[in-house]
Each structure stands twice: as structure tokens, then as C-alpha cells.
Structure 1
């Protein structure tokens, strides 16, 4: 298994993140992670936060910007694209083949005003 993600960051997003890290000097990297519930249809599949490298197993240095994440992200995704639009960071996460099969049959997620996947037949997240 490949132990690294393919990460692409637009120039604007790169500059924006570096400015955030300069302002918040208590952090030394951006971290990518899956939401606690695993993310389901129409919700974030991957979150981005300011954090410290010590909390993660994989750290990539992209032109001086440290991007940290854990092995579970590598197992579930093959590529992350980070762009900046109207002062907000947007991520596009391309799932791995094994993760794609987990999300088949998710039509209807969120269609009843919920994002907890209660009506999904194929989501890997179970409603509590």
C-alpha cells in the first residue's frame, strides 16, 4: 500500500495557509483528517485544521509547508486537492477504490433533512 497521499495545493491556498500559520504560531502544520463519524454523503469527507506535527504519523513537506495526517487517510483516499475560494479553503478528496465501494448506494443521504445516513443503504456510518 502506498503510504502517502497525493496532495495538491493551489498557490492562493498555499499563501493563505502560510499566513494562518504565521499568525497562529502555536501550530506548526496543517492536518488532514476524517471526521469522527467518518463522513457521509453530503458532508465533509476530510477536514483541515491547524495543528502540531507531533500528533500525526505522516508529515509531508510541500515547499516548506508541513501537511500532517494519519495512516487511515491513506487507506481511504488517494488524492486531496486544496483550493481557496472567497477566503475559505475547499478540499476535494478522491476516495480509494476500497473507500468508493463503501459509499455505493448512498442516494437519499441528507434528502430528509439529516446527514446522519439513517436512510442510506450503503454508507459506512451508522446512526446512533
Structure 2
């Protein structure tokens, strides 16, 4: 059986996400979506959404979190904090994750849209 994704939320991030759901009024959950990444990093987008068939659910306090197998296949840990009016996301890739960047494993991220700072 696969291990569930380890999700860490700061108290401030949790409060901000709960407030966003409350203000929106049409969504009851937060969705994390994996976006293929450059080199050793990965990008996770955060959306307000509702449960769909096939979603994986995870609850932290009263916050319902949704994601799909793509996120689970690529990440083993996700940490989210909130400061300076924005969310900060840190990810830890699974051992089997295969970043789609053509420069993966090199000393330079030339050609990776300048988003790589992991070297």
C-alpha cells in the first residue's frame, strides 16, 4: 500500500486557507496540484475546489485537502507556510520522481525559465 503524502501546514497558512474557503462560499476544500518541475524542485499549485471522484482526501484540523495520484507519485512531503501575504511551498520529491527538465542532473539550469535555484 502506498504511503500517504506527508503535509505540513504552518498555523498561519492553515488559518489563511480556512479563511479563503469561508470567504469564497462555493468551495469546501483546498486542492494541491503537481506541476512538472525544473531540475531538483517541483511546483505545487493551490486551488479552492470541491471533491471529485478519484480524489485523495486528507484532513488537517478542519481543512479538507484534495489531490490526485500525480502529486502522490512525485512528492513524499509538502510543507506550506504563509508570510508576506503569500504562500511559501517546499516540496520533497519521491525517490522515483522523474523531473521533466532537460537540464536535470547538470550544474546549470540554463533553459529552465530561470526558476531553478536548487544548485
**Contact 2:39-2:105 within 8 A present in 1 as well:** no
Q: TM-score scaled by structure 2?
A: 0.80
Residue 29 in structure 1 maps to residue 26 in structure 2: no
- Which position in structure 2 is the counterpart of 1:77? 75
RMSD: 2.7
Greater share of strand residues, 1 or 2?
A: 2
Q: Which runs of 5+ in 2 are unaligned?
A: none
Q: TM-score scaled by structure 1?
A: 0.75
Structure ranking higher on relative contact order (CA contacts 8 Å, 6+ apart): 2
Matches within 5 A, 1:107-126: 107-109=107-109, 111=110, 114-115=112-113
Change (3 A) 1:78 1:44: closer
Q: Which runs of 5+ in 1 are unaligned?
A: 118-128
**Contact 1:39-1:46 within 8 A present in 2 as well:** no
- Cα distance, 1:87 vs. partner? 1.3
Aligned residues: 113
